[in-house]
A = this chain, B = another copy of it.
Amino acid sequence: MSVEEKLSEMGIELPTPPKPVASYVPIVQTGNLVYLSGQLPIKDGRVMAVGSVPNPCSIENAKEGAKLTAINIIAHLKAHLGSLDRVKQVIRLNGFVQSENGFHKQPEVLNGASEFIAEVFGDKGKHTRIAIGVFELPLNAAMQIDAIVEVE
């Protein structure tokens, strides 16, 4: 089964990838490594997970936001690669979660992205990760996630 078929089976429709919100590009490839710019939990132009976790953005809402951010990452990969079967290995996710004072469950939030990527890509989706709790993020998004992906 191709990755696109897997996504379809999971009921996931890839959106038109969101445009960068400033003076940069969404993807650059060097050799067989693809670098993606930081993605936000945006759907139809609207940020779907807003503010600090767990208040006002609940952990559940934030996990959904992380999954949506991963969908945006995959949408950019699809636009760049043509076929998602060209993904050889997801190398890295860098995850930054807007965090309330005293919140330390950034890994749980980011699992919303990591588990989705692992489900979509199988062994090729097993990645390294950093999970950081930050003070503020662009557009008041609850998280920003970027990726490095090996392609063929």
- Please list the residues of chain A having a beta carbon within 8 angstroms of any beta carbon in chain B: 20-28, 30-33, 35-38, 89, 91-94, 96, 99-108, 110-111, 114-115, 118, 126-140, 144, 146, 148, 150
Give the residues in chain B near A128, CB-CB below 8 Å: 24-28, 35-37, 146
CA distance A100 to B104 in the complex (A): 15
Kindly provide the distance from the CB of A70 to the nearest chain B CB, expressed in whole angstroms.
12
Residue of chain B at shortest CB distance from A137: B133
Kindly provide the distance from the CB of A20 to the nearest chain B CB, expressed in whole angstroms.
8
Q: List 26 A-B contacts (CB under 8 A).
A: A21-B107, A22-B108, A22-B110, A23-B114, A23-B118, A24-B114, A24-B128, A24-B129, A25-B128, A26-B128, A35-B92, A37-B128, A37-B129, A104-B138, A104-B139, A106-B136, A106-B137, A130-B146, A131-B137, A131-B138, A131-B144, A132-B132, A132-B134, A132-B144, A133-B134, A133-B137
